Chain A
Amino acid sequence: MSQTVTPYLEMSQAIMEAGGEALKKCYQCGTCSGTCPWTPITHFNIRKLVRYGQLGLDGIEDFMWGCSTCRFCVERCPRGVELIDIVTAIRNVYSGGGMLPQSLRAFVGSLSARGNPWSGDPAARNDWAKEKYPVYAPGMDYLFWTCCTVCYDPRNMRLAKAAAEILNLAGVSWGMPSPDINCCGESLRKVGDAELFERLRGKNLDYFKSNEVSRIITVSPHCLATFNNDYGADYDVTHFSELMSQWIRDGKLVPKKDFGGLTVTYHDPCYLGRHSKVYDAPRDILKALPGVAFVEMERNSEESMCCGGGGGGLWTEKAKGERLSDLRIEEAMGTGAKVLATACPYCITMFEDSARTLNVDGRIQIRDVTELLLESLEINIDEPVGDACAV
């Protein structure tokens, strides 16, 4: 690569106009790149991305896909720069020029054609429920927003079922969306396709409006964050972990099953923690489970690591050694935990993948707190954890 560059300020202007206004504020101190989980392990450098953006330098497209939008840098930035907005804007500006990487094309294509990222048949969205659970109708307490991932990904269907069962146990009136909704569009927005995102958003908002939806439950923190921050409508959106912990506190749900000293650690999903500031609820649930020995990883809560699945990362191929989820699994295992609990379908997918490729799936289980709670309520939709871990 040539060492000589020429600033191309029109590009910089375009990025700012696409929502990356914050470019101007950065003084290149390096807090972001020092904080970024990718800096030590990949060539991706968030500070450099911003720098390239500030000057509109060529070559930006080489590393603009590295960010998983974990928000760590945003929280720490001394200038209050909304780096994720910059990343999104850069992707928006450049991917408009047809620079979408191959791995993301299927994902964007599926969203465009089928309204979900998993190339699933839209009509089959609610098939996981096997007609066991109600569809939302006006007047119900809650719309249980089933993330596309829990509807189509077989591993995550367990999460959907667990949540549905607990909703029933809590005795609230609830329903799933009808199959004609589509993906919340969060990841799509982060990969920069603002136009398609608007389409998805509009369709979902129409659904909410026509069905008089006022309270929404999500199991995916990505849906949660995008409803709260990008939908610009005033709905009461709650992550399911918050409701579960509330119900346990109120005595509505009483965990019974004793896990017999099972060591569990918890990974904060970036979109639940840093994006939505929910840190305590999942921990409160885990701590309420009889016989669970809860341990923290060194990086937790506000300082939690990223699994790498955000910002389109779930669909991007990463070379071995450049996967955050691998590092996180190792960190979890370092605590002696037998179960890595989390509260996000993306995290689950990333960790299940890593556990398999690291060949440690026999030694650590990846579970959503919802699934663990359901198990402790002695409803069996799944195989018990205890046996699998009796190594």
Chain B
Amino acid sequence: MLKKTTVNQLSDLASALMEKGTLVAPVREDAGFQFREITDAKRVDLNFHNTVISPKSVFFPQTEDFVRYRTGRPMQEAEPVEPQGKPLILFGVRPCDVKSFEIMDIHFSGTGDVDPYWQARREAAAIIGYAFDLGAPAEPEEFYQTLGIGAADPEGSDIFMVRRGDDLLLKSITGKGEALLTGMGGLAGASADDEKFFDDTVAAGRDFKTRFTCVDAEVITKKLEDLFHNTDFWEKASNACLSCGVCTFACPTCYCFDICDETLFQQGTRRRVWDACMFTDFTLEASGHNPRTKVYQRLRQKINHKYSYHVRKYGVISCVGCGRCTRYCPVNIDIFSIVEEAMKA
């Protein structure tokens, strides 16, 4: 089903969506666009290229409380925090980010060990994808084409959205999407012309140019395995690296977390908080030993995890080429360039 509205009526669309569940959509903030829970429909803003932090934070927030307890009381009195299963609409997700959910599902539910918090939100969510603007060039940091992702791929979305001039075309991709779209008022029917534009856009998206290098999952895995002991290669790659957490926090497919207890006035919370393999204490063991004390070891781990170990274990590269890690890296380290170098080696 294809429906349409106009960008001028975006807030009406948002209002309609808010009636269906919690709406999370891009909003403009001081530091750029971010996905935020919408309370004011007028704040939804589609004039963005992509958000600073990826939408993984919607299903896997940076801080997640598990258990609340009082210090000095028996364990039985601790109260677990129940997963949230409220209907949720995640609006305006770029195709590469939509793809990331598929990869993340492997970790949070796919292997059989189900993370109830992720799962509850994921199941309750409808994803409204949004094609990149094919009229403008890709940003220099992006390389999703390398990972086989088109600029207008509707796969993974429940509804996929394409902009046509001042019109917004919404097409249901899944049953869930169809149900949602059907139940919504205020939308106009789309013309055959619109239908065609939608299909053309999806097709054109596949050829849309981002940075590209031919990366075969098997090949890069092997290359990286061979390079593992090439310290020189990794030192060069990491000379500038600061070991901060920007790349991992911005990344849509990084999922590492730490579990910590925070107490105040004897009221304790056990919560998970994003962690980053680039942090020096990420691998610090209780004994005081740290297997990865060098910067190059940590950067090597990150690249390998995404392009080698992940492939060996799950068969897919754990990167969607969104370019966030490069864009926000304080010292301009570029994962694409490193992968490119590795392919050449």
A and B, direct touch (CB closer than 8 Å): no
Residues on B facing A (Cβ under 8 Å): none
Residues on A facing B (Cβ under 8 Å): none
